[in-house]
Structure 1
Amino acid sequence: MTVTPATAVAEKPRRPLSRFRSIRGRETWAGLAMIAPAGILLVLFLVIPVLLAFGLSFTNARLISLNPPRFVGLDNFARAFGADPMFLQSAWNTFLFALVVVPVQAGLGLLLAVLVNRRMRGVTAFRVIFFIPVVTSIVVVSILWKFMYQKDGLINSFIDTLTFGAWQSVDWLNNPATALPAIIVLSIWQAVGFHMIIWLSGLQTIPEELYEAAKMDGASPWRQFTSVTWPGLRPTMVFVLVTITIAALGLFVQVDVMTQGGPTGSTSTIVYHAVRKGYQQQEIGYAAAISLIFFVAVLIIALIQRRLTRDKD
Protein backbone atom coordinates (compact mmCIF):
# COMPACT_ATOMS: atom_id res chain seq x y z
CA MET A 1 0.00 0.00 0.00
CA THR A 2 1.37 3.39 -0.97
CA VAL A 3 1.38 6.00 1.77
CA THR A 4 0.79 9.49 0.46
CA PRO A 5 2.14 12.57 2.28
CA ALA A 6 -1.41 13.56 3.25
CA THR A 7 -1.98 10.14 4.88
CA ALA A 8 1.32 10.36 6.76
CA VAL A 9 0.43 13.78 8.10
CA ALA A 10 -3.00 12.54 9.15
CA GLU A 11 -1.57 9.55 11.07
CA LYS A 12 1.08 11.47 13.03
CA PRO A 13 -1.21 12.75 15.83
CA ARG A 14 -2.37 9.19 16.63
CA ARG A 15 1.00 8.01 17.95
CA PRO A 16 1.34 10.45 20.91
CA LEU A 17 -2.34 9.90 21.79
CA SER A 18 -1.96 6.12 21.87
CA ARG A 19 1.22 6.46 23.93
CA PHE A 20 -0.62 8.77 26.39
CA ARG A 21 -3.46 6.26 26.69
CA SER A 22 -0.96 3.47 27.28
CA ILE A 23 0.85 5.42 30.00
CA ARG A 24 -2.44 6.44 31.60
CA GLY A 25 -3.63 2.84 31.51
CA ARG A 26 -0.45 1.58 33.18
CA GLU A 27 -0.77 4.26 35.87
CA THR A 28 -4.38 3.26 36.48
CA TRP A 29 -3.51 -0.41 36.88
CA ALA A 30 -0.56 0.47 39.09
CA GLY A 31 -2.81 2.57 41.31
CA LEU A 32 -5.39 -0.22 41.53
CA ALA A 33 -2.66 -2.67 42.46
CA MET A 34 -1.48 -0.39 45.25
CA ILE A 35 -4.91 0.03 46.81
CA ALA A 36 -5.91 -3.61 46.29
CA PRO A 37 -4.50 -4.96 49.62
CA ALA A 38 -6.23 -2.27 51.69
CA GLY A 39 -9.39 -2.56 49.60
CA ILE A 40 -9.57 -6.33 50.04
CA LEU A 41 -9.09 -6.04 53.80
CA LEU A 42 -11.79 -3.35 54.02
CA VAL A 43 -14.23 -5.52 52.09
CA LEU A 44 -13.47 -8.66 54.13
CA PHE A 45 -13.43 -7.09 57.59
CA LEU A 46 -15.73 -4.07 57.21
CA VAL A 47 -18.16 -4.21 54.30
CA ILE A 48 -19.05 -7.92 54.51
CA PRO A 49 -19.49 -7.93 58.34
CA VAL A 50 -21.71 -4.84 58.14
CA LEU A 51 -23.89 -6.45 55.48
CA LEU A 52 -24.07 -9.70 57.46
CA ALA A 53 -25.00 -7.81 60.64
CA PHE A 54 -27.70 -5.96 58.76
CA GLY A 55 -29.14 -9.22 57.46
CA LEU A 56 -28.88 -11.08 60.77
CA SER A 57 -30.60 -8.26 62.67
CA PHE A 58 -33.92 -9.33 61.10
CA THR A 59 -33.52 -13.00 62.09
CA ASN A 60 -33.48 -15.11 65.24
CA ALA A 61 -30.02 -16.50 64.44
CA ARG A 62 -28.05 -18.06 67.28
CA LEU A 63 -24.29 -18.60 67.51
CA ILE A 64 -24.62 -22.39 67.89
CA SER A 65 -27.94 -23.92 66.90
CA LEU A 66 -29.22 -26.92 64.96
CA ASN A 67 -32.14 -24.88 63.63
CA PRO A 68 -31.57 -22.54 60.66
CA PRO A 69 -32.12 -18.81 61.19
CA ARG A 70 -35.71 -17.63 60.73
CA PHE A 71 -36.80 -14.20 59.52
CA VAL A 72 -38.52 -12.32 62.37
CA GLY A 73 -38.83 -8.84 60.86
CA LEU A 74 -38.63 -6.02 63.38
CA ASP A 75 -39.09 -8.23 66.45
CA ASN A 76 -35.48 -7.73 67.59
CA PHE A 77 -35.82 -3.96 67.46
CA ALA A 78 -39.15 -4.06 69.28
CA ARG A 79 -37.55 -6.25 71.93
CA ALA A 80 -34.68 -3.80 72.40
CA PHE A 81 -36.97 -0.84 73.06
CA GLY A 82 -39.71 -2.72 74.88
CA ALA A 83 -38.94 -6.09 76.42
CA ASP A 84 -35.27 -5.61 77.30
CA PRO A 85 -34.85 -3.12 80.15
CA MET A 86 -31.10 -3.80 80.24
CA PHE A 87 -30.77 -2.34 76.73
CA LEU A 88 -32.43 0.89 77.84
CA GLN A 89 -30.20 0.96 80.93
CA SER A 90 -27.13 0.38 78.75
CA ALA A 91 -28.21 3.15 76.38
CA TRP A 92 -28.65 5.57 79.28
CA ASN A 93 -25.24 4.63 80.74
CA THR A 94 -23.60 5.14 77.35
CA PHE A 95 -25.27 8.53 76.88
CA LEU A 96 -24.35 9.66 80.41
CA PHE A 97 -20.74 8.52 79.94
CA ALA A 98 -20.40 10.46 76.68
CA LEU A 99 -22.19 13.51 78.12
CA VAL A 100 -19.54 13.81 80.86
CA VAL A 101 -16.43 12.57 79.05
CA VAL A 102 -16.70 14.61 75.84
CA PRO A 103 -16.63 18.15 77.33
CA VAL A 104 -14.36 17.30 80.28
CA GLN A 105 -11.79 15.42 78.24
CA ALA A 106 -11.78 18.02 75.46
CA GLY A 107 -11.47 20.87 77.98
CA LEU A 108 -8.67 19.24 79.96
CA GLY A 109 -6.83 18.38 76.76
CA LEU A 110 -7.02 22.00 75.63
CA LEU A 111 -5.87 23.26 79.03
CA LEU A 112 -2.86 20.93 79.03
CA ALA A 113 -2.04 21.87 75.44
CA VAL A 114 -2.02 25.58 76.32
CA LEU A 115 0.22 24.89 79.33
CA VAL A 116 2.79 22.83 77.42
CA ASN A 117 2.75 25.14 74.38
CA ARG A 118 5.41 27.33 75.95
CA ARG A 119 9.10 27.77 75.35
CA MET A 120 10.50 26.75 78.71
CA ARG A 121 12.90 24.19 80.10
CA GLY A 122 11.42 20.75 80.74
CA VAL A 123 8.24 21.25 78.72
CA THR A 124 9.05 18.23 76.51
CA ALA A 125 9.23 16.02 79.59
CA PHE A 126 5.73 17.13 80.62
CA ARG A 127 4.41 16.35 77.13
CA VAL A 128 5.82 12.84 77.38
CA ILE A 129 4.43 12.32 80.89
CA PHE A 130 0.92 13.35 79.85
CA PHE A 131 1.11 11.13 76.76
CA ILE A 132 2.37 7.95 78.48
CA PRO A 133 -1.14 6.67 79.45
CA VAL A 134 -2.19 6.87 75.79
CA VAL A 135 0.48 4.44 74.60
CA THR A 136 -0.17 2.08 77.52
CA SER A 137 -2.61 -0.74 76.79
CA ILE A 138 -6.10 0.13 77.98
CA VAL A 139 -6.42 -3.43 79.31
CA VAL A 140 -3.33 -2.97 81.50
CA VAL A 141 -4.55 0.44 82.63
CA SER A 142 -7.97 -0.97 83.51
CA ILE A 143 -6.43 -3.79 85.56
CA LEU A 144 -4.20 -1.38 87.48
CA TRP A 145 -7.07 0.99 88.23
CA LYS A 146 -9.24 -1.93 89.27
CA PHE A 147 -6.75 -2.69 92.05
CA MET A 148 -6.54 1.00 92.93
CA TYR A 149 -10.33 1.20 93.27
CA GLN A 150 -10.55 -1.68 95.74
CA LYS A 151 -11.72 -1.01 99.28
CA ASP A 152 -8.16 -1.35 100.57
CA GLY A 153 -6.64 0.09 97.39
CA LEU A 154 -4.40 3.07 96.79
CA ILE A 155 -7.18 5.62 96.23
CA ASN A 156 -8.95 4.93 99.53
CA SER A 157 -5.60 4.86 101.35
CA PHE A 158 -4.61 8.21 99.82
CA ILE A 159 -7.91 9.88 100.75
CA ASP A 160 -7.72 8.35 104.24
CA THR A 161 -4.26 9.88 104.69
CA LEU A 162 -5.43 13.30 103.54
CA THR A 163 -8.41 13.23 105.95
CA PHE A 164 -6.31 11.92 108.88
CA GLY A 165 -8.33 8.71 109.17
CA ALA A 166 -11.79 10.26 108.93
CA TRP A 167 -12.48 8.72 105.50
CA GLN A 168 -14.67 5.63 105.31
CA SER A 169 -13.33 3.35 102.57
CA VAL A 170 -15.59 2.99 99.52
CA ASP A 171 -15.76 -0.08 97.30
CA TRP A 172 -15.86 2.06 94.19
CA LEU A 173 -16.55 -0.61 91.56
CA ASN A 174 -19.12 -2.55 93.58
CA ASN A 175 -21.29 0.43 94.41
CA PRO A 176 -23.92 1.33 91.76
CA ALA A 177 -23.57 5.01 92.65
CA THR A 178 -19.80 5.16 92.13
CA ALA A 179 -18.99 2.45 89.57
CA LEU A 180 -19.73 4.49 86.44
CA PRO A 181 -18.10 7.70 87.77
CA ALA A 182 -15.00 5.62 88.58
CA ILE A 183 -14.82 4.38 84.99
CA ILE A 184 -15.37 7.95 83.74
CA VAL A 185 -12.38 9.21 85.75
CA LEU A 186 -10.18 6.40 84.44
CA SER A 187 -11.22 6.98 80.83
CA ILE A 188 -10.57 10.73 80.98
CA TRP A 189 -7.15 10.21 82.56
CA GLN A 190 -6.14 7.58 80.02
CA ALA A 191 -7.07 9.45 76.83
CA VAL A 192 -6.62 13.13 77.69
CA GLY A 193 -2.97 13.04 76.59
CA PHE A 194 -3.91 12.06 73.05
CA HIS A 195 -6.25 15.00 72.62
CA MET A 196 -3.68 17.26 74.26
CA ILE A 197 -1.36 16.43 71.35
CA ILE A 198 -4.12 17.17 68.82
CA TRP A 199 -4.88 20.52 70.44
CA LEU A 200 -1.15 21.26 70.59
CA SER A 201 -0.75 20.65 66.87
CA GLY A 202 -3.62 23.07 66.26
CA LEU A 203 -2.07 25.71 68.52
CA GLN A 204 1.20 25.55 66.65
CA THR A 205 -0.51 26.32 63.33
CA ILE A 206 -1.71 29.73 64.56
CA PRO A 207 0.66 32.46 63.29
CA GLU A 208 2.62 34.21 66.03
CA GLU A 209 2.01 37.53 64.28
CA LEU A 210 -1.62 37.44 65.33
CA TYR A 211 -0.63 37.31 69.01
CA GLU A 212 1.85 40.15 68.52
CA ALA A 213 -0.84 42.27 66.88
CA ALA A 214 -3.26 41.49 69.72
CA LYS A 215 -0.64 42.51 72.31
CA MET A 216 0.00 45.77 70.49
CA ASP A 217 -3.74 46.47 70.69
CA GLY A 218 -3.59 45.93 74.45
CA ALA A 219 -5.49 42.62 74.51
CA SER A 220 -5.35 40.69 77.77
CA PRO A 221 -4.33 36.99 77.77
CA TRP A 222 -7.99 35.95 77.97
CA ARG A 223 -8.87 38.32 75.13
CA GLN A 224 -6.05 36.83 73.06
CA PHE A 225 -7.43 33.35 73.70
CA THR A 226 -11.01 34.23 72.73
CA SER A 227 -10.11 36.38 69.73
CA VAL A 228 -7.05 34.60 68.32
CA THR A 229 -6.56 31.13 69.79
CA TRP A 230 -10.11 29.79 69.83
CA PRO A 231 -11.07 30.90 66.27
CA GLY A 232 -7.81 29.39 65.00
CA LEU A 233 -8.62 26.09 66.71
CA ARG A 234 -12.05 25.63 65.14
CA PRO A 235 -11.04 22.83 62.69
CA THR A 236 -9.14 21.09 65.49
CA MET A 237 -12.13 21.42 67.79
CA VAL A 238 -14.39 19.65 65.30
CA PHE A 239 -11.96 16.75 64.97
CA VAL A 240 -11.46 16.43 68.74
CA LEU A 241 -15.17 16.47 69.53
CA VAL A 242 -16.03 13.87 66.90
CA THR A 243 -13.23 11.48 67.90
CA ILE A 244 -13.98 11.76 71.63
CA THR A 245 -17.69 11.21 71.04
CA ILE A 246 -17.18 8.11 68.91
CA ALA A 247 -14.69 6.65 71.41
CA ALA A 248 -17.00 7.43 74.35
CA LEU A 249 -20.03 5.85 72.72
CA GLY A 250 -17.97 2.74 71.96
CA LEU A 251 -16.99 2.17 75.61
CA PHE A 252 -16.30 -1.55 76.14
CA VAL A 253 -12.84 -2.56 77.38
CA GLN A 254 -12.97 -0.74 80.73
CA VAL A 255 -16.38 -2.23 81.51
CA ASP A 256 -15.39 -5.72 80.43
CA VAL A 257 -12.21 -5.73 82.51
CA MET A 258 -13.37 -3.87 85.61
CA THR A 259 -17.08 -4.48 86.26
CA GLN A 260 -18.56 -6.80 83.60
CA GLY A 261 -21.52 -4.43 83.42
CA GLY A 262 -22.27 -4.54 87.15
CA PRO A 263 -23.23 -3.89 89.75
CA THR A 264 -26.88 -4.38 88.75
CA GLY A 265 -26.22 -3.10 85.24
CA SER A 266 -25.02 0.32 86.39
CA THR A 267 -21.98 0.22 84.06
CA SER A 268 -23.35 -1.78 81.13
CA THR A 269 -23.05 0.00 77.77
CA ILE A 270 -24.61 -0.64 74.37
CA VAL A 271 -21.47 -2.25 72.96
CA TYR A 272 -20.95 -4.41 76.04
CA HIS A 273 -24.62 -5.45 76.03
CA ALA A 274 -24.40 -6.42 72.34
CA VAL A 275 -21.25 -8.49 72.91
CA ARG A 276 -22.77 -10.21 75.94
CA LYS A 277 -25.96 -11.06 74.06
CA GLY A 278 -24.11 -12.22 70.98
CA TYR A 279 -21.32 -14.32 72.47
CA GLN A 280 -22.22 -15.16 76.05
CA GLN A 281 -25.92 -15.77 75.44
CA GLN A 282 -25.41 -16.69 71.74
CA GLU A 283 -28.25 -14.48 70.44
CA ILE A 284 -26.46 -13.33 67.31
CA GLY A 285 -29.57 -11.97 65.61
CA TYR A 286 -30.53 -9.81 68.57
CA ALA A 287 -26.94 -8.65 69.05
CA ALA A 288 -26.80 -7.64 65.38
CA ALA A 289 -29.98 -5.58 65.87
CA ILE A 290 -28.39 -3.80 68.86
CA SER A 291 -25.28 -3.11 66.78
CA LEU A 292 -27.39 -1.66 63.99
CA ILE A 293 -29.20 0.62 66.45
CA PHE A 294 -25.82 1.69 67.83
CA PHE A 295 -24.51 2.43 64.34
CA VAL A 296 -27.50 4.61 63.48
CA ALA A 297 -27.27 6.45 66.82
CA VAL A 298 -23.56 7.21 66.37
CA LEU A 299 -24.16 8.37 62.81
CA ILE A 300 -26.95 10.73 63.87
CA ILE A 301 -24.90 12.17 66.75
CA ALA A 302 -21.87 12.67 64.49
CA LEU A 303 -24.00 14.46 61.88
CA ILE A 304 -25.56 16.71 64.53
CA GLN A 305 -22.12 17.55 65.90
CA ARG A 306 -20.83 18.30 62.42
CA ARG A 307 -23.79 20.57 61.71
CA LEU A 308 -23.45 22.45 65.00
CA THR A 309 -19.71 22.98 64.57
CA ARG A 310 -19.59 23.70 60.84
CA ASP A 311 -18.20 26.99 59.58
CA LYS A 312 -20.92 29.59 59.18
CA ASP A 313 -20.76 32.13 56.39
Structure 2
Amino acid sequence: MSSRRALSGVALAGAALALQGCVVAAAAPLAAAGVAIAKGKRETPRTPLAATTPPVVQTTSRSSELASPPFAPSAPAQPAQAATASDRAIVLTGLTAMPAPTARDIGASDGAILSFARHALDRAEASPANAATRSALLASPGALETDRAACRERPAMVLIDLDPGRDAFDPLAASQADPALVEALATLRDRDVMIAWQTRLGENFADVVRSALARTGLDPTGEDRLEVLGSLDERKQTRRDALAKTHCIVAILGDERADFDELYLYLKDRDAVVPPDAIIGNGWFLASPITNEG
Protein backbone atom coordinates (compact mmCIF):
# COMPACT_ATOMS: atom_id res chain seq x y z
CA MET A 1 0.00 0.00 0.00
CA SER A 2 1.42 3.40 -0.88
CA SER A 3 1.75 6.10 1.77
CA ARG A 4 -0.84 8.23 -0.04
CA ARG A 5 -3.42 5.47 0.10
CA ALA A 6 -2.71 4.80 3.81
CA LEU A 7 -3.23 8.43 4.77
CA SER A 8 -6.50 8.49 2.87
CA GLY A 9 -7.76 5.45 4.84
CA VAL A 10 -6.92 7.04 8.18
CA ALA A 11 -8.76 10.21 7.18
CA LEU A 12 -11.90 8.28 6.27
CA ALA A 13 -11.88 6.40 9.57
CA GLY A 14 -11.52 9.62 11.51
CA ALA A 15 -14.38 11.19 9.64
CA ALA A 16 -16.64 8.21 10.51
CA LEU A 17 -15.83 8.47 14.18
CA ALA A 18 -16.52 12.20 14.16
CA LEU A 19 -19.89 11.68 12.47
CA GLN A 20 -20.92 9.06 15.07
CA GLY A 21 -20.15 11.47 17.88
CA CYS A 22 -22.38 14.11 16.31
CA VAL A 23 -25.32 11.70 16.17
CA VAL A 24 -24.96 10.78 19.83
CA ALA A 25 -24.67 14.41 20.83
CA ALA A 26 -27.83 15.28 18.92
CA ALA A 27 -29.79 12.45 20.52
CA ALA A 28 -29.36 13.78 24.08
CA PRO A 29 -31.63 16.88 23.77
CA LEU A 30 -34.20 14.92 21.80
CA ALA A 31 -34.43 12.28 24.48
CA ALA A 32 -34.83 15.00 27.09
CA ALA A 33 -37.74 16.33 25.06
CA GLY A 34 -39.49 12.94 25.18
CA VAL A 35 -38.61 11.98 21.58
CA ALA A 36 -37.58 8.33 21.08
CA ILE A 37 -34.89 7.39 18.55
CA ALA A 38 -34.93 3.83 17.29
CA LYS A 39 -33.27 2.47 14.23
CA GLY A 40 -32.68 5.95 12.90
CA LYS A 41 -36.46 6.88 13.03
CA ARG A 42 -38.07 9.56 15.28
CA GLU A 43 -41.46 8.87 16.91
CA THR A 44 -43.99 11.36 18.34
CA PRO A 45 -43.74 12.31 22.06
CA ARG A 46 -45.28 9.62 24.29
CA THR A 47 -46.51 11.84 27.10
CA PRO A 48 -46.48 15.53 27.88
CA LEU A 49 -43.36 16.90 29.43
CA ALA A 50 -45.07 17.62 32.77
CA ALA A 51 -46.03 13.97 33.23
CA THR A 52 -42.43 12.79 32.86
CA THR A 53 -40.97 15.39 35.17
CA PRO A 54 -40.19 13.84 38.60
CA PRO A 55 -42.06 15.39 41.57
CA VAL A 56 -40.18 18.06 43.43
CA VAL A 57 -39.63 17.17 47.09
CA GLN A 58 -41.21 19.85 49.28
CA THR A 59 -39.92 20.94 52.67
CA THR A 60 -43.32 20.54 54.39
CA SER A 61 -44.49 17.64 56.54
CA ARG A 62 -46.11 16.15 53.45
CA SER A 63 -42.65 15.93 51.78
CA SER A 64 -41.50 13.43 54.37
CA GLU A 65 -44.23 11.07 53.24
CA LEU A 66 -43.29 11.49 49.57
CA ALA A 67 -39.62 11.00 50.28
CA SER A 68 -40.12 7.80 52.32
CA PRO A 69 -38.89 4.55 50.78
CA PRO A 70 -41.50 2.55 48.90
CA PHE A 71 -41.26 -0.38 51.35
CA ALA A 72 -41.98 1.73 54.45
CA PRO A 73 -45.42 0.98 55.97
CA SER A 74 -47.78 3.87 55.59
CA ALA A 75 -49.80 5.21 58.53
CA PRO A 76 -53.47 4.13 58.58
CA ALA A 77 -55.74 6.67 57.01
CA GLN A 78 -57.80 8.65 59.49
CA PRO A 79 -61.56 8.60 58.79
CA ALA A 80 -63.02 11.87 57.70
CA GLN A 81 -65.23 13.74 60.12
CA ALA A 82 -68.23 13.24 57.85
CA ALA A 83 -67.78 9.46 58.04
CA THR A 84 -69.04 9.44 61.60
CA ALA A 85 -72.46 10.43 60.33
CA SER A 86 -73.00 6.78 59.39
CA ASP A 87 -73.24 6.02 63.09
CA ARG A 88 -76.43 8.08 63.21
CA ALA A 89 -78.43 6.26 60.60
CA ILE A 90 -82.11 7.17 60.24
CA VAL A 91 -84.40 4.22 61.00
CA LEU A 92 -87.87 4.36 59.51
CA THR A 93 -90.82 3.02 61.52
CA GLY A 94 -94.32 2.03 60.60
CA LEU A 95 -95.92 4.73 62.77
CA THR A 96 -98.61 6.79 61.08
CA ALA A 97 -99.28 8.95 64.18
CA MET A 98 -97.56 9.90 67.40
CA PRO A 99 -98.14 7.32 70.15
CA ALA A 100 -100.24 8.27 73.15
CA PRO A 101 -98.15 9.58 76.07
CA THR A 102 -97.28 7.09 78.78
CA ALA A 103 -97.36 7.77 82.50
CA ARG A 104 -93.70 8.83 82.44
CA ASP A 105 -94.46 11.50 79.83
CA ILE A 106 -97.04 13.35 81.89
CA GLY A 107 -95.76 16.11 84.17
CA ALA A 108 -95.72 17.40 87.72
CA SER A 109 -98.97 15.67 88.70
CA ASP A 110 -97.69 12.32 87.53
CA GLY A 111 -96.14 11.34 90.86
CA ALA A 112 -99.26 12.16 92.90
CA ILE A 113 -101.58 10.36 90.50
CA LEU A 114 -99.49 7.21 90.39
CA SER A 115 -99.18 7.22 94.18
CA PHE A 116 -102.95 7.71 94.42
CA ALA A 117 -103.63 4.63 92.27
CA ARG A 118 -100.98 2.52 94.00
CA HIS A 119 -102.30 3.40 97.46
CA ALA A 120 -105.87 2.58 96.44
CA LEU A 121 -104.86 -0.80 94.99
CA ASP A 122 -102.88 -1.66 98.13
CA ARG A 123 -105.94 -1.02 100.29
CA ALA A 124 -108.63 -2.35 98.00
CA GLU A 125 -108.88 -5.51 100.10
CA ALA A 126 -109.63 -5.38 103.80
CA SER A 127 -106.82 -6.92 105.82
CA PRO A 128 -105.35 -6.54 109.34
CA ALA A 129 -102.17 -5.15 107.82
CA ASN A 130 -103.81 -1.96 106.51
CA ALA A 131 -106.81 -1.72 108.85
CA ALA A 132 -105.45 1.41 110.56
CA THR A 133 -104.84 3.31 107.31
CA ARG A 134 -107.37 1.80 104.93
CA SER A 135 -109.79 4.71 105.25
CA ALA A 136 -108.82 8.16 103.94
CA LEU A 137 -111.44 9.85 106.13
CA LEU A 138 -110.74 11.20 109.60
CA ALA A 139 -112.44 9.50 112.53
CA SER A 140 -113.47 12.94 113.81
CA PRO A 141 -114.09 15.25 110.84
CA GLY A 142 -113.18 18.85 111.63
CA ALA A 143 -110.78 17.86 114.43
CA LEU A 144 -107.02 18.38 114.25
CA GLU A 145 -106.28 14.67 114.68
CA THR A 146 -104.91 11.95 112.43
CA ASP A 147 -107.01 8.96 113.51
CA ARG A 148 -108.80 7.32 110.58
CA ALA A 149 -112.39 6.17 110.37
CA ALA A 150 -112.97 2.41 110.59
CA CYS A 151 -113.85 0.69 107.32
CA ARG A 152 -114.38 -2.90 108.39
CA GLU A 153 -115.45 -4.99 105.36
CA ARG A 154 -116.95 -2.24 103.23
CA PRO A 155 -116.04 -2.26 99.51
CA ALA A 156 -113.25 0.07 98.38
CA MET A 157 -113.92 3.45 96.81
CA VAL A 158 -111.81 6.37 95.64
CA LEU A 159 -113.16 9.92 95.72
CA ILE A 160 -112.05 12.60 93.24
CA ASP A 161 -112.95 16.27 93.68
CA LEU A 162 -113.62 18.14 90.43
CA ASP A 163 -113.82 21.71 91.77
CA PRO A 164 -110.73 23.85 91.05
CA GLY A 165 -109.73 25.38 94.36
CA ARG A 166 -112.64 27.14 96.02
CA ASP A 167 -114.46 27.63 92.70
CA ALA A 168 -117.07 25.33 91.21
CA PHE A 169 -116.29 22.98 88.35
CA ASP A 170 -117.26 24.30 84.89
CA PRO A 171 -118.45 21.29 82.86
CA LEU A 172 -118.98 23.38 79.70
CA ALA A 173 -115.41 24.65 79.46
CA ALA A 174 -112.96 23.06 77.04
CA SER A 175 -110.96 20.80 79.32
CA GLN A 176 -108.58 17.88 79.32
CA ALA A 177 -107.65 15.11 81.73
CA ASP A 178 -104.27 13.81 82.75
CA PRO A 179 -103.68 10.61 80.71
CA ALA A 180 -102.03 9.04 83.76
CA LEU A 181 -105.28 9.42 85.68
CA VAL A 182 -107.35 7.91 82.85
CA GLU A 183 -105.07 4.86 82.87
CA ALA A 184 -105.09 4.60 86.67
CA LEU A 185 -108.89 4.73 86.87
CA ALA A 186 -109.22 1.96 84.30
CA THR A 187 -106.96 -0.22 86.45
CA LEU A 188 -108.98 0.54 89.58
CA ARG A 189 -112.24 -0.38 87.86
CA ASP A 190 -110.75 -3.69 86.79
CA ARG A 191 -110.04 -4.35 90.46
CA ASP A 192 -113.65 -3.57 91.41
CA VAL A 193 -112.77 -0.30 93.12
CA MET A 194 -115.68 2.16 92.89
CA ILE A 195 -114.89 5.61 91.44
CA ALA A 196 -116.85 8.58 92.85
CA TRP A 197 -116.70 12.17 91.57
CA GLN A 198 -117.57 15.13 93.78
CA THR A 199 -118.45 18.75 93.05
CA ARG A 200 -120.31 21.55 94.77
CA LEU A 201 -122.57 21.89 91.73
CA GLY A 202 -126.24 21.06 92.20
CA GLU A 203 -128.21 18.12 90.87
CA ASN A 204 -129.39 20.07 87.82
CA PHE A 205 -125.77 20.00 86.53
CA ALA A 206 -125.46 16.21 86.77
CA ASP A 207 -125.96 15.53 83.05
CA VAL A 208 -123.42 18.08 81.81
CA VAL A 209 -120.90 16.94 84.42
CA ARG A 210 -121.23 13.37 83.19
CA SER A 211 -120.78 14.58 79.60
CA ALA A 212 -117.55 16.33 80.59
CA LEU A 213 -116.26 13.18 82.30
CA ALA A 214 -117.04 11.12 79.21
CA ARG A 215 -115.52 13.69 76.82
CA THR A 216 -112.22 13.75 78.72
CA GLY A 217 -112.06 9.97 79.03
CA LEU A 218 -112.26 10.02 82.83
CA ASP A 219 -115.56 8.12 82.84
CA PRO A 220 -116.13 7.05 79.22
CA THR A 221 -119.02 4.68 79.95
CA GLY A 222 -120.79 6.68 82.67
CA GLU A 223 -120.53 3.87 85.22
CA ASP A 224 -118.89 5.92 88.01
CA ARG A 225 -120.75 7.47 90.91
CA LEU A 226 -121.44 11.21 90.82
CA GLU A 227 -121.85 13.22 94.03
CA VAL A 228 -123.55 16.58 93.52
CA LEU A 229 -125.25 18.69 96.18
CA GLY A 230 -128.99 18.32 96.69
CA SER A 231 -129.56 21.76 98.23
CA LEU A 232 -127.85 25.07 98.88
CA ASP A 233 -127.23 24.30 102.54
CA GLU A 234 -125.65 20.90 101.91
CA ARG A 235 -121.87 20.57 102.29
CA LYS A 236 -119.43 18.32 100.51
CA GLN A 237 -118.32 17.04 103.90
CA THR A 238 -121.80 15.62 104.56
CA ARG A 239 -121.63 13.84 101.19
CA ARG A 240 -118.30 12.29 102.12
CA ASP A 241 -119.64 11.16 105.47
CA ALA A 242 -122.67 9.59 103.79
CA LEU A 243 -120.44 7.66 101.35
CA ALA A 244 -118.39 6.32 104.27
CA LYS A 245 -121.45 4.50 105.60
CA THR A 246 -121.60 2.23 102.53
CA HIS A 247 -118.02 2.19 101.21
CA CYS A 248 -114.47 2.46 102.42
CA ILE A 249 -112.99 5.59 100.85
CA VAL A 250 -109.38 4.40 100.56
CA ALA A 251 -108.00 7.46 98.70
CA ILE A 252 -109.07 11.03 97.89
CA LEU A 253 -107.68 13.07 95.00
CA GLY A 254 -108.10 16.85 94.96
CA ASP A 255 -106.20 20.04 94.20
CA GLU A 256 -106.39 21.53 97.71
CA ARG A 257 -106.52 20.26 101.30
CA ALA A 258 -110.16 21.29 101.81
CA ASP A 259 -111.08 18.53 99.34
CA PHE A 260 -110.05 16.01 102.03
CA ASP A 261 -111.74 17.54 105.06
CA GLU A 262 -113.62 20.78 105.62
CA LEU A 263 -111.51 21.68 108.69
CA TYR A 264 -109.10 23.36 106.24
CA LEU A 265 -111.84 25.84 105.35
CA TYR A 266 -111.72 27.29 108.85
CA LEU A 267 -107.97 27.79 109.27
CA LYS A 268 -107.06 31.43 109.84
CA ASP A 269 -103.87 30.81 107.91
CA ARG A 270 -104.73 28.75 104.83
CA ASP A 271 -101.11 27.63 104.56
CA ALA A 272 -100.75 26.61 108.21
CA VAL A 273 -99.29 23.17 108.88
CA VAL A 274 -101.60 20.96 110.96
CA PRO A 275 -101.32 17.31 112.11
CA PRO A 276 -103.68 15.85 109.45
CA ASP A 277 -101.20 17.02 106.81
CA ALA A 278 -99.36 13.76 107.59
CA ILE A 279 -102.06 11.91 105.62
CA ILE A 280 -101.11 13.74 102.40
CA GLY A 281 -99.43 11.11 100.26
CA ASN A 282 -100.85 8.35 102.46
CA GLY A 283 -104.55 8.55 101.63
CA TRP A 284 -104.82 12.17 100.49
CA PHE A 285 -103.26 13.14 97.16
CA LEU A 286 -102.87 16.62 95.72
CA ALA A 287 -103.32 16.85 91.94
CA SER A 288 -105.72 18.41 89.42
CA PRO A 289 -107.80 15.68 87.80
CA ILE A 290 -109.04 17.93 85.01
CA THR A 291 -107.81 21.28 83.68
CA ASN A 292 -109.16 23.84 81.25
CA GLU A 293 -107.47 24.02 77.87
CA GLY A 294 -105.71 27.20 76.88
If the TM-score is normalised by the length of the shorter chain, which range does it land in?
under 0.3
User: What is the TM-score with the length of structure 1 in the denominator?
Assistant: 0.25
User: What is the TM-score with the length of structure 2 in the denominator?
Assistant: 0.26
Q: Which has the higher contact order (CA 8 A, sep 6+)?
A: 1
Richer in helix (by share): 1
